[in-house]
Amino acid sequence: MYNNIKSILQKREVLIANLIIGFYAISLFIFSQSKALSNVYWIDDDWPQHLLWLYKFHPNYFQDNDFYMMAAEAIQPWGVYIVNSILGTFFSPLFISKFFPLVTLWAVCWFSFFLMKKRFGWALAISAMVMMSNIPLERMVGFFARAYAFPLLLAFTYFWIEEKKRSILFVIFLSAVFYPVIFLIECFIISIDGIITLLKGKLRDNLKYYASLGVVILFSCGVLLLKSKTINSNEFLGGFLSKEELLNRPEFGSGGRVDFQYNMNTNLPLEFPWKFYLRFPFSDYHLETVSLLLAILTIILLLGRSSHPKLDTYILSLLITGTILFYLAQWRLPQLFFTRALHIL
């Protein structure tokens, strides 16, 4: 009898939580996107280079061999290409870009809410949902590949903390085919976790699980390499630009659309990103402040006084991963991202 009542209450609680999440996501979406929803031609400025190709499913708009359509189609990750191809057969590209970000917004709200609720209760769960939904929404507008970034990262975080191993494997592969940057973050976090497990002497007990992770990661890397090869050999994109070609183009120099001089200069002092991207309003000692917070978190973990060691270790791993990938991106990202044709789009 007690178990039945408890089960009913839990189901009711989950239902109420989902209703709150749905109501909040819809309200935030309508409020923030009211201009776009009321004006058919109010669109994100990156729309042509990401969704223009969907007009191939709608005749009498563009020619089949139109450069903009073919180039925009070629740069899409395969997961995004498949999803948008299916949607494009039923909806117009403008409708997809305006309304489907609500799906990814709901996913962010759901994962952030339930990640916190189990550990910290309703108040912090709702606060986490509100905090984690506003900034990512800006990146979801238009329903481009980047719209999947935060949902995938939060899904990975949720399944990682909950130790749902099969779901972790699935999300890793989805990240590779929808938004590879998140796949890189996940790989680094898994590597850090593997090192910690090895130092604890528990690697042998989890060998089968780490072997599964390795297989999925290697397969995903193969998929990404194949995608990179198709982009590099695509006649509409013209292959990737070399560093010398990038530096000789005015748009990547001083006064260009984005100041890529910093990205292309690997000799900058290490404190550059801390100083300019992680500014603190209460202190000029940015690097020192971050280092202090990191040291405090590390000490708490070492002393074993954390109430949520799995979550705290994950946060620490995410901070280390983000820092490492920032420097790698500063070194290589412009060369990996910009093709000869992309800047024309």
| C-alpha count within 13 angstroms, C-beta hemisphere, residue 83 | 20
Could you report the per-residue pLDDT of 66-91, keeping only the tens digit for each? Answer: 777 777 788 889 999 999 999 988 88
Average pLDDT over residues 33-59: 78
Could you report the per-residue pLDDT of 292-314, keeping only the tens digit for each? Answer: 667 767 766 665 666 777 887 88
Tokens encoding 340: 């000869």
Categorize the per-residue pLDDT at 336 as very low, low, confident or very high, splitting at 50, 70 and 90. Answer: very low
Q: Is pLDDT above 90 for 253?
A: no
Tokens encoding 261: 């001089």
Q: Are 178 and 145 in contact (CB under 8 A)?
A: yes
Q: Looking at residue 24, what is its pLDDT?
A: 92
Q: Is pLDDT above 50 for 341?
A: no
Q: Is pLDDT above 60 for 209?
A: yes
Least confident piece of the model among 27-41, 78-92, 140-154, 324-338: 324-338
Could you report the per-residue pLDDT of 256-295, keeping only the tens digit for each? Answer: 555 554 444 544 444 444 455 445 445 554 555 666 667 7
240 phi/psi in degrees, rounded to 5: -80, 150
Residue whose pair of structure tokens reads 């450069």 in the numeric block = 67
Q: Are 140 and 104 in contact (CB under 8 A)?
A: yes
Q: Looking at residue 299, what is its pLDDT?
A: 66
Alpha carbon distance 294, 69 (integer Å): 47
